[in-house]
Structure 1
Amino acid sequence: MEMNSVELEHIVDKYGEHLLKMAYFYLRDPETAKDIAQEVFITFMRSRTIKNKENYVLI
């Protein structure tokens, strides 16, 4: 089952600010920190979709 936009929005709202602050703490560059935070959410979405597709095939 793919993540819908409401679920994604909830996750971004819940973890986005903390993730951005953590990335900035290590990188000290606001633009790079934004890019990294975005990549984390993209990777999360992709891994969730792929994992669910594999589970579907196994059933």
Structure 2
Amino acid sequence: MPGAYEYVLQRRCELEAEMAMQADLSIPSVLEDDYDEAVWEREKAARVAALMDERGVAHGRC
């Protein structure tokens, strides 16, 4: 099941990215007026892609 490994790794990267973003004080709080969910999702997707690339998934090295 080559897809199972990639799926689990992607979920782990998503969790790591979300935890890192929550710890990042430059990300606005959900309670603030200037909170933009679309920006949050784009930044999360970028972090996940970077983590996946770092682990070699994007290049088929897994």
TM-score by length of 1: 0.48
More helix by share: 1
